[in-house]
Amino acid sequence: MTLSYKMIMAPSAPVRKMLTRRMSFGRPASEGDPLSSASWGAVLIVHGSIPDIFYAADVGAKVSPVFVAEVMGNCPQNVVSMAFVGNVADVKQVLVALENEGVVACISAG
């Protein structure tokens, strides 16, 4: 099964606030929290089954210095979302690695 995903370039302040709240279990990111110092050049959000999500998180964390976190929501227990936060080049590197592993489908423009 391939994961669905969306990449957000230069996420707006409201989107960063919503994601921060969902990635830090409802509490605001505090000083010293890795999320508070993460680069927000881009965010890659992937969505799928638990095994696929954790595999994707492992692949992404190994290929690029991005912040990886589960995005908590109202999803069924067997479907979750994960966010990769970092500078644009690092987040794109994660996406390429996930495409190469066959975890996400390569989507070409045009």
pLDDT-derived band at 110, boundaries 50, 70, 90 = very low
Give the containing element (helix H, strand E) for 17: helix 13-23
What is the span of the domain harbouring residue 17? 4-100
**Is 85 inside a domain boundary?**
yes
The number of domains in the chain is 1
What's the CATH number where 33 sits? 3.30.70.1710
Is residue 40 a contact partner of residue 66, using CB atoms and an 8 Å limit? no
**Is 110 inside a domain boundary?**
no
Is residue 5 a contact partner of residue 91, using CB atoms and an 8 Å limit? no
**Residue 44 tokens, joined:** 């890659």
DSSP state of 104: B
**Is 107 inside a domain boundary?**
no
pLDDT digits (tens, 9 = 90+) for 18-44: 888 888 655 555 555 666 667 899 999
Predicted TM-score (pTM) of the model is 0.84
**Residue 25 tokens, joined:** 């279990």
Query: How confident is the model at residue 107, as a pLDDT?
Result: 60
> CA Rg, the chain, in Å?
13
**Is 77 inside a domain boundary?**
yes
Query: How confident is the model at residue 39, as a pLDDT?
Result: 83
pLDDT digits (tens, 9 = 90+) for 49-90: 888 999 999 999 999 999 998 888 765 565 688 999 999 999
Dmax (CA) of the chain = 42
**Is 105 inside a domain boundary?**
no
